[in-house]
Structure 1
Amino acid sequence: MINSMTAFAKKEKHAEWGQAAWEIRSVNHRYLDIILSLPDNFSHLEPLIRKQMQKNVHRGRVDIKLHYKPYPNKAIPITIDKPLAQSLINAYKEIAQLSQSKRAFNPGELLRWPHLLQFPELQPHEIQTELMALLTDTLNNFCNVRQTEGHAIFGVLNRRILKLIHCIKYIQTQLPQLLNRQREKISARLQEIKASLDANRLEQEMLLFAQKTDVAEELDRLTIHLTEFKNLLIKNQVHGKQLDFLLQELNREANTLAAKSFNAELTLSAVNIKVLIEEMREQVQNIE
C-alpha cells in the first residue's frame, strides 16, 4: 500500500457552542514535521494532536489548523448581576435625594457599569471531546486522500516499469546484431590500415572494443533492481526512501549503459531508460 505525502482535508462542525473547522494539509519532506496553528485557548490540545498524528503519519510536512468561532450567527445569552444592579439603583436614589435632584432615573445608565452584564464564556475543556472527535474525522479523510493519491502513484510507477522492461528487453534482443554490425565497421576500418598493424594489434583492438561495449552486466543489474523495486511496491507498507535508493542504483546503471553506447540506437535506448527513471523519481518523491 502506497501513501502519498501530498494531501488535504477539511471538516467543519456547527454546534450550540459555535463552529469549528480542522484543516490538514501535507507536502513532501524527508522527515515528519508537524506544524500546528491553534487558537490560544486551545493550545493545551497540542500534545494530544501530535500523538494522534504520529500514529497515522510517518513522513512529510503536515500543517494542522483549527478555526474556531463561538456562537456564530446566534444571539449570545446575557445575564444581569441583579444584586449589583439593585445596589446601583439604591445608590442612585440616595445620591438623587442628597443632591435634591429632580432628574428622572434612566436605567440605561446602569449599562455603563463594569460587570453588570455577564457574558457566558465557554471553557475550552467543555468542547475538547467534540473537537478531538472532529479532528479524528478530518484525519480519516486526510488518510483516505493520501491512499487515493498513493494508488494513482502506484499506477504511474507500474506503467513506467513496463516501459523500462520493454526497453531493456529490446536492447537485449538487438544487442547481438548491433555488436556484429559494429565489429564489421571496425574490421573494415582496420583492414584499411592493416599494413601498419600486425595481427596481434588487430586482435587487441577487437578485444578492447568487446570490453568497452559489453553492457550485459548493466542490463542484468537493471533487471535485478527493477524486480526488487516491483517487489517493494506490492508490500503492505511501502517506504519512499527505499524506493528512492533503488532508483539511484537504476540511474547509476543507466549512466554506465549510456557511457558504453557505441551507436545512435543504443544511445537513444539508454536515454529513454534515464528519462523513465527520472519520471519515476519524481513520483517517488511523493511517497511516504
Structure 2
Amino acid sequence: IKASLSRGRIDAVLRYQSAESSANSPELNLDTINQLMAWSRTVQSTVPVAGELSIADILKWPGVLTPERIDEDQLSVTAKDALANALSALASQRQREGRQLAVVINAKLEAARDIVIGVQGRVPELEQYARQRLNERVSEFAEQLEPGRFEQELVLLLAKSDITEEIDRLQLHLAEVANILNGSGPVGRRLDFLMQELNREANTLGSKSNHPETTTAAVDLKVLIEQMREQIQNIE
C-alpha cells in the first residue's frame, strides 16, 4: 500500500467468507467416527443391554464434523490479488480526479497570473503615488526641511513599499506550479509547499501596499491561492 500511495491515510480491510456450498458442507472426520464405532462395539460386548449409537449421536460427538479447512497459501494469493486490483482501481480513479482538478487549478492559476501582471504594470504608477503622498505630508513644513531631506525620505518610502521582489517570486512560484501540474508522479506535497510560498508573498505584497488597488489585488490573490490549496489537498 505504501509503495502505491504516497499521500493520505489509507485503511485496508480484508473480509473472508466461504463459498455457500462449502460453508454448508462441513467435513466428516472418518477417523473419529471409526473410533466411536469401535468404542460402541466394545461397550456392547461388555454391557449387552447397551444400545447402538445412532447417527444423531455420532454427529453430535465433538470432532466428528469439522469445518472446512482453509488453504492459507491460496488465501494469501487471493488476498494479494484482491488488494492489487483495489489499488489499481484506486490509482485509476485518482488519475481521473487529478486531471479534472488540474483543469480547475490551472484556471485559478491563470487568474492569479493576471493579477500579478496587473500589479507589475502599475509599479511606475505606484511609485508616483508614493511620491505624491510624501509631497502631501511635507508640504506644510517643506521650508523647514534640510536640503536633500525630501529625497532621502522618498528613497526610504519607495524602498519600504517596493514590491518588485514579491512580484518576481510570485511569478516564479506560479510558473513552477504550472510545470508541476504538467508533470507526472505524486505532486501534492510539492504543490502544497508552493501554496504556502505564494501565500507568504501575497501577504508581503499586501503589507507593503500603499495604494488601494494593490491592497485589493493582494486580497484577490490570497483568495485564489486558498482556493487552489483546498483543491490540492485532494491531489496525491
**Which residues of 2 match residues 104-183 of structure 1 at below 5 A?**
106-183=54-131
Match of 2:28 in 1: 80
Match of 1:201 in 2: 149
Residues 113/217 of structure 1: CA separation in 2 closer, same or farther (3 Å cut): closer
Identify the match of residue 137 of structure 2 among 149, 167, 189. Answer: 189
Tell me if structure 1 keeps the 8 A contact 2:26–2:66: yes
Q: CA deviation at 1:174?
A: 3.0
Kindly provide the CA deviation profile for residues 232-255 of structure 1, in whole angstroms up to 9, marking residues without a partner as x: 221123533333333333233222
Match of 2:161 in 1: 213
Q: CA deviation at 1:168?
A: 0.7
Q: Distance in 2 between matches of 1:178 and 1:63?
A: 54
Kindly provide the CA deviation profile for residues 6-52 of structure 1, in whole angstroms up to 9, marking residues without a partner as x: xxxxxxxxxxxxxxxxxxxxxxxxxxxxxxxxxxxxxxxxxxxxxxx
Residues 182/54 of structure 1: CA separation in 2 closer, same or farther (3 Å cut): closer
Residue 266 of structure 1 aligns to a residue whose secondary structure is helix
Identify the match of residue 67 of structure 1 among 15, 18, 30. Answer: 15
Identify the match of residue 259 of structure 1 among 194, 199, 207. Answer: 207
Paired residue type of 1:278: E
Tell me if structure 2 keeps the 8 A contact 1:225–1:250: yes
TM-score, scaled relative to structure 1: 0.70
Greater helix percent: which structure? 2
Residue 187 of structure 1 aligns to a residue whose secondary structure is helix
Paired residue type of 2:71: Q
Q: Distance in 2 between matches of 1:75 and 1:248?
A: 56
Note if 1:230 corresponds to 2:178: yes
The percentage of aligned residue pairs carrying the same residue is 33
Residue 68 of structure 1 aligns to a residue whose secondary structure is coil
Paired residue type of 2:100: A
Greater strand percent: which structure? 1
Residues 287/201 of structure 1: CA separation in 2 closer, same or farther (3 Å cut): same
**Cα RMSD, aligned residues only:** 2.8
TM-score, scaled relative to structure 2: 0.83
Structure number with greater Rg is 2
Residue 63 of structure 1 aligns to a residue whose secondary structure is coil
Paired residue type of 2:169: R
Identify the match of residue 245 of structure 1 among 183, 193, 198. Answer: 193
Aligned residues: 236
Q: CA deviation at 1:98?
A: 4.0
Unaligned runs of 5+ in 1: 1-52
